[in-house]
Structures are given as structure tokens and as C-alpha cells.
A and B are shown apart, each in its own frame.
Chain A
Amino acid sequence: DVQMTQSPSSLSVSIGDRVTITCQASQDINRDLSWFQQKPGKAPKLLISGTSTLQTGVSSRFSGSGSGTIFTLAINSLQPEDLATYHCQHYYSLPYSFGQGTKLEIK
């Protein structure tokens, strides 16, 4: 099974910061990776699939990159509405699995 290791687990940020979150797979997963945003008390929301494809309606401040085993989610000019927990997920092979999540908090 592919294991996903996400870092950091939490991040203190300021509005306007550029934020990067990393997800490492235990084996090559090609580019079969998604990123989700989850706000408190809400279901996760798909932001990016296929490593770098933004879903319709998602702000261009979000971007994804990587391939193989290392992947990155970047958020430019962090806005208050971006404060949330972010999860990566691979769908390269069954069973699909998620990283542990990264919680963004105000510094």
C-alpha cells in the first residue's frame, strides 16, 4: 500500500504569506494526487487533482506541483478564507490514502 506523509502537520501563518505544504508518497505515484481543503465543521472540498489541475472556481492563488514521490501545494498571498486544514490524497493504486493533514493557523 502507498503511504502518504504530509508536512508540516500545522503551520502558523500571516495574511499575505506564501505558504507551501509538502506531501511525500512511499513510492512513485506518477501524478495521481489530489489536494483537499477542509474548514472546521465542513466536509473536505476538492481543490486540485492530477497534481496541478485546479477545480472550477478555485482561486488561482492555489497551485500544485510535483511528480513521482514529492508533491507541493502552494498558496500565494494567503487570505483569511484560506485558513483551513489541507489534505493530500493519492489515487495511484488501491487502497487510496490520505496524508495526515496540515492545519493553517494565524500567527
Chain B
Amino acid sequence: QVQLQESGPGLVKPSGTLSVTCNVSGVSVSSTYWWSWVRQPPGGGLEWIGEVFHTGTIYSNPSLRTRLTLSIDGSQNQVSLRLASVTAADTAIYYCALDSGLTEWGPGILVTVSS
């Protein structure tokens, strides 16, 4: 059974870099799945962030592309997201999910951007 668990700092200062790690169990992150990221501002709708494959191929939302880094660490069986130059508008629950079809989700982590 695939399980995903997000972790990272819950508070980031404006202009800083937001980092979230997704710990994966039950499947290798180096297998034939894409690893997706979605975010949801408090009380808001869902926004697709992007997806990464173990080969390093990344597809991302153009609205975030210049600030976004997605990566995979096969040795730790983790997937990671980094978002640079954050503002209050980046405050959201960040979810990782299995595959492009978002078939399984982690519980999410709330990251607040505030000084």
C-alpha cells in the first residue's frame, strides 16, 4: 500500500525559499510513476503545481515555473519541492500525490509565509 507523508518547515519568511519533502513508502520513487504536487490556500481551491519523473523530467505550472524546483531522491525514497522568492500568496497546504492521475495523496502540510 502506497503511503505519502509531507514534511518541512511550517513557516517561511517572505522572499525566502519554501521546501517540502514527501516521504514515500510502499513503492519506489524510481519506479514508473510520476510524482505530483498540488497546493490549496486556506479556504481556497486546488492548484496543480507540477510533476516529476525519476529520469528528471519535470512538467510544471507556468505560473510557478521560474521559482519552482522538483526533485527525486531515490536513496531516501523521497520527492521534494522547493519554491523560491515566496510571498504571502504562496501560503497554502502543499500535497504530494502519486502519479499524474493523483491516485493517492499525502495528508498535506500547511506552509505559512509570514515575517
B is bound to A: yes
In the bound complex, CA of A1 to CA of B63 (Å): 11
* Other-chain residue from B47, B102, B104, B106 in contact with A34 (beta carbon distance below 8 A): B102
Q: Is B35 an interface residue (CB 8 A)?
A: no
| Distance (whole angstroms) from the CB of A2 to the closest CB of chain B | 11
Chain A, residues 66-107, CB within 8 Å of chain B (1/0): the string is 000000000000000000000101010011111111000000
* Other-chain residue from B59, B100, B107 in contact with A43 (beta carbon distance below 8 A): B107
* Other-chain residue from A42, A46, A96 in contact with B107 (beta carbon distance below 8 A): A42
Whether A98 and B101, one on each chain, are in contact in the complex, defined by CB atoms closer than 8 angstroms, is no
* A-B contact list, 10 entries, CB within 8 Å: A34-B101, A36-B46, A43-B95, A43-B107, A44-B46, A46-B101, A94-B59, A95-B48, A95-B59, A95-B62
Main secondary structure of the interface of A (DSSP, over half): loop
Whether B102 and A46, one on each chain, are in contact in the complex, defined by CB atoms closer than 8 angstroms, is yes
Chain B, residues 71-103, CB within 8 Å of chain A (1/0): the string is 000000000000000000000000100001111
| Distance (whole angstroms) from the CB of B12 to the closest CB of chain A | 21
Q: Is B105 an interface residue (CB 8 A)?
A: yes
Residue positions of B touching A, CB distance < 8 A: 38, 45-48, 59-63, 95, 100-108
| Distance (whole angstroms) from the CB of B60 to the closest CB of chain A | 8
Whether A99 and B61, one on each chain, are in contact in the complex, defined by CB atoms closer than 8 angstroms, is no
Task: List A contacts of B60 (CB < 8 A).
Answer: 95
Task: List B contacts of A43 (CB < 8 A).
Answer: 95, 105-108
Whether B103 and A97, one on each chain, are in contact in the complex, defined by CB atoms closer than 8 angstroms, is no
Whether A98 and B105, one on each chain, are in contact in the complex, defined by CB atoms closer than 8 angstroms, is no
In the bound complex, CA of A44 to CA of B95 (Å): 9
In the bound complex, CA of A56 to CA of B42 (Å): 30
Known: A42-B107, A43-B95. A98 touches B46 (CB 8 A): yes
Task: List A contacts of B104 (CB < 8 A).
Answer: 46
Nearest-neighbor residue (CB-CB) of B96 within chain A = A43
